[in-house]
Amino acid sequence: MPTTPDAVLAEEEQRAVEVYDRLVRPTLRPEDDGKFVVIAFDEDDFEVDADDHTAINRLLARRPNARLWLMRTGPEPACRIRGVTGGRA
């Protein structure tokens, strides 16, 4: 189990990327390139949308307590941003 904030962040990124590669990437179409994907990595769930807020809100409607990871789709996912709900950062 990671013990430092950087180690926790690295582990969460690794988990989110694994979900992206396993669940998200196979569903993407060419028109999804550059869209946002938000991943609830603890629940193996995700949403894709051109608008990051829309994707986040749809996923949080299903998973209100999810820990989220935001990425941008493409050959190499970019714009990785971690987030947690409940006012925690």
| pTM for the whole structure | 0.80
| Tokens, residue 20 | 């992206």
Rounded Cα distance between 82 and 32, Å, is: 21
pLDDT digits (tens, 9 = 90+) for 16-70: 999 999 999 999 999 999 999 999 999 999 999 999 999 999 999 999 999 999 9
Alpha carbons 84 and 89: distance in angstroms, whole number: 6
Higher pLDDT, 51 or 9: 51
Q: In the sheet where 78-84 sits, what is the strand order? A: 45-49, 36-40, 67-72, 78-84
CA dist 48 and 88 (Å) reads 23
